[in-house]
Amino acid sequence: MSARAEEPPPLPPVESAEEHATPLEIEPPVSRPPWTGREAIWSGVGLIVAGTATLIVVAGPVCSQIRNGNPTTCFEATVGGGAGGVAVGVILLVVGETQRASYKEWLRTHPMFAGLSVASSSRGPALGWSVSF
């Protein structure tokens, strides 16, 4: 016998989960992108501007010119419509920003679509894709 200690037997190879996994289990599925929220953001901004303009421009000058009807009723209706427009605009703005945040999160997990853009040109719509190295 030799003075050297006997080495332990080698361990059996460890099977990795990726060896038996299908490609769909390894890569996340490419899902349809969520709503970007741009439409709600722009609609919200438009309603806020329109509601504010109604309150500033229409309420006083237009309702004060009413001769046959009650100017108070006109003023109340105009203020109610303008305030309602501003309220709906704020709600749409919040919804749009929330959706925009979820879209940005989706882009972070799907970087292939990050540079995708659509633009209009004189010949019709154009699809663009920017890549940086």
Query: Does the pLDDT at position 91 exceed 90?
Result: yes
Where do the structural domains in the chain lie, given as residue ranges?
42-108
Which pTM does this prediction carry? 0.58
pLDDT of residue 96: 93
Q: Using N-to-C axis directions, what is the helix angle for 71-109 and 38-53, rounded to 10°?
A: 160
Residue 85 to residue 55: CA distance in whole angstroms: 10
Section 41-61 average pLDDT = 89
Query: Does the pLDDT at position 49 exceed 90?
Result: yes
Residue 42 to residue 129: CA distance in whole angstroms: 24
Residue 8 to residue 87: CA distance in whole angstroms: 76
Q: Which helix (H) or strand (E) holds 119?
A: strand 116-121
Section 90-95 average pLDDT = 94
